[in-house]
Amino acid sequence: MKQNLAHIALVVDDYDKAIEFYTRKLNFRLVEDTVLTESKRWVRMAPPGSDGCCLLLAKAANDEQRSRIGNQTGGRVFLFLHTDDFHRDFENLKKNNVTIIREPSIEVYGTVAVFADLYGNLWDLIQPNT
């Protein structure tokens, strides 16, 4: 048996604002942007060099969904971004004024820092120990 995660839905308030943040500040690539209806698009984003799971930007369609923007996990770290060069990517976050929640630390599993995306979702930037 083989399975894998294909997409992780991230609730956003505006497709274009989210695309701009992820492409300009995190250097993600826009994998797909397909119009489905007048108000709904299929927008997939991926980190540079990734060929696996994508973020699926899902525009909030009602008040309940809007209430979850930026807090899909109750304030816990939501997404874990592995890197092959922690210093390069951490400096990129700082250069692009991305909010750093926890400064870098060296842990048993690797070097890690916590940052927030434009909505306040928490991310770990991790360079795993090899």
Same domain, 9 and 65: yes
pLDDT value of residue 119: 97
Same domain, 126 and 74: yes
Same domain, 39 and 84: no
Residues 82 and 94: beta-carbon distance below 8 Å: no
Same domain, 114 and 127: yes
Q: Which range in 48-52, 73-77, 88-92 is most confidently predicted, on average pLDDT?
A: 88-92
Q: Which of 61, 65, 13, 2 is nearest to 37 (CA)?
A: 61
Same domain, 59 and 78: no
Same domain, 9 and 57: yes
Same domain, 86 and 37: no
pLDDT mean across residues, the chain: 96
pLDDT in tens, 79-108: 999 999 999 999 999 999 999 999 999 999
CATH code (residue 77) = 3.10.180.10
Model confidence band, residue 130 (pLDDT cutoffs 50, 70, 90): confident
DSSP bridge pairs for 11: 58
Q: DSSP 3-state assignment of 22?
A: helix
Same domain, 15 and 45: yes
| pTM: predicted TM-score of the whole model, two decimal places | 0.94
Same domain, 61 and 78: no
pLDDT value of residue 53: 94
Same domain, 61 and 1: yes
Model confidence band, residue 10 (pLDDT cutoffs 50, 70, 90): very high
Domain residue limits at 41: 1-69
The percentage of the chain sitting over the pLDDT mark of 70, rounded to a whole number, equals 100
Model confidence band, residue 50 (pLDDT cutoffs 50, 70, 90): very high
Same domain, 63 and 80: no
Same domain, 32 and 79: no
3-state SS of 64-127?
Answer: HHHCCCCCCCCCCEEEEEECCCHHHHHHHHHHCCCEEEEEEEEECCEEEEEEECCCCCEEEEEE
- Token pair for 104: 């870098």
Q: How many domains does the chain have?
A: 2
